[in-house]
Structure 1
């Protein structure tokens, strides 16, 4: 198993892309760490800082422009999109570079101090205006999603036949990786038990709302980046943040925030369980595919313990 699914990108291709959209003069082109599926580079042009990302996945970045407009309209610091396109087999997107450094580089105390602001951003994400869109699941370039219900999406996302997607032939992971069929099927069964609690709720979901996709200047959150965006129950984003910052009291801080604001969250525990199982199940497949056995085992054990209320 590989721990790097990023495509190789020639420096000449990067220069050609930047020149096409911005004209000559791109400087300080340098690779950026982070991201598992995209090769990301920072650069400057005419005194401004930008990022360009490359991927060999079908449909990569096609939804970025819609998401950028949706979130910036809510006052959420998300990168503006400069250009989208293809060069050879690679898709690319040029974006504004957000200020700051990754929240993951901060100490635990520093991350915890940012928690109230993060909870506020979660609220803004959940309140994004998606009334003119339709569907559940992964968001398309037109702002719509393909499934009529959350249940339909969950079933499709975990089906064996994933032809033409990132998960094509994923059942092979049972044979070639640490993915355990009995564990996967047990978690899937539990997930389907909680689907009815999540199903009535449709909101914008960032999908990967954790400290490796959050930027800070040390005092405030300066950027939210790299979503795996979809429509469904907004508690999915809360579950992601809690799983990645388990020692920061994320769930209690969120409940305190909602109580202070006088906002009732029906079936909170059941919906959160459904969110844990949904993201956790996808995590098991991803960690197995990447060869990250430690992350796989930790996630598996967390999910199996959930039934006991731990």
Structure 2
């Protein structure tokens, strides 16, 4: 976009703030852009806040739910207001500060890791009283699947939010076969999956974790949050770790194992569960990247899923 071009999303945010909050707020400035929403910084009633604008209001509602449930050791910004404006959804949250986890050097990651693993424990320890089901949940605390395995295997079915990926993949050089083989391998691991229902963030990278002073300062964007086995968030880190070569000196599997041993919480059927979740994460990435037409990313994730499909849990 040229220097003179008008950013329609920024102009929308300016109108939203002006018409909703008036003189209580300063003019919003761009802060960050994600796949599903854009974030802007401003002050409201003298306090630093962030306003996010997107098409999916349920994401913001889930942020509000988790912020209300989280203990002090799980830093989730308070949602101050939500609403609709000109056909878009918005949320105003307390401003959190820090460096994105994705931007840490290897040395910084090594220093931060104990805090990050503690946050994983805190996420899994959130009380889910009054909720039901497995998989992606709605703000009313209900998830659509009767078992955790059923929720995972649903990755092979298209959703309204990510449509058309199966046909796109079938037309591509990769075909649909790697996905079907991955689903079969995942189904074979279903007997090892636990019945427990815990909170899962489901996207602990992509600039959704902020860090400051050697610890985690905020966990953002709970739109992908699930109910199920909290080991899934650990698998998420394992799966995506190789995409961050600067972290290569940190053995994330060994660090997780040491953390579980120290806390007396070594998971049963660990290898099988991790293998299942690595398969699911890869299948999810293939579906999303095919939907977006990001074919080099499809290639990378197909390679991982094929390798997982043809290997035993380790």
* 1:33 aligned counterpart, secondary structure: strand
In structure 2, relative to structure 1, the CA distance for the partners of 1:48 and 1:156 (3 Å cut) is same
Tell me which residue corresponds to 1:280: 282
Query: TM-score with structure 1 length normalisation?
Result: 0.87
Query: Following the alignment from structure 2 to structure 1, what is the Cα–Cα distance between the partners of residues 19 and 194?
Result: 44
* RMSD (Å) for aligned C-alpha atoms: 2.3
1:230 offset after TM fit, Å? 0.7
Aligned CA distance change for structure 1 residues 180 and 199 (closer, same or farther; 3 Å)? farther
Q: What CA distance in whole angstroms lies between the structure 1 residues aligned with 2:8 and 2:61?
A: 19
Match of 2:127 in 1: 129
Structure 2: gaps (5+ residues)? 1-6, 243-247
Distance 1:152 1:244 in 2: 24
Work out whether residues 100 and 222 of structure 1, in 8 Å CA contact, stay in contact via their aligned partners in 2. Answer: yes
Q: 1:204-252 deviations in whole A, cap 9, x for unaligned?
A: 0000012621111242211111121110111110111122324232221
Write out per-residue CA displacement over residues 38-97 of structure 1, whole angstroms, 9 at most, x where no aligned residue: 1221222233221111222474423221121122x3531111101111112211111111
Unaligned 5+ residue runs, structure 1? 1-7
Is the partner of 2:199 in helix, strand or coil? Answer: strand
1:203 aligns with 2:229: no
Indicate if the aligned counterparts of 2:166 and 2:287 stay in contact, CA closer than 8 A: no
Number of corresponding residues: 299
SS of the residue 1:245 aligns to? helix
Q: Does 1:243 align with 2:246?
A: no
How far apart are 1:10 and its partner, in Å? 4.2
TM-score normalised to structure 2 length = 0.86
The counterpart of 2:106, out of the listed 80, 105, 108, is: 108
The aligned counterpart of 1:305 is: 307
Separation (CA, whole Å) in 2 of partners of 1:156 and 1:133: 20
Deviates more, 1:35-44 or 1:288-297: 288-297
4+ long deviations beyond 3 Å: 8-13, 19-23, 57-60, 175-179
Tell whether the 8 Å contact from 1:21 to 1:83 is kept in structure 2 after alignment. Answer: no
5 Å matches for 1:71-110?
Answer: 71=70, 73=71, 75-110=73-108
SS of residue matched to 2:75: coil
Distance 1:257 1:191, change over 3 A: same
The residue that corresponds to 2:210 in the other structure is 215
**Is contact 1:34–1:212 with CA below 8 Å preserved after alignment?**
no
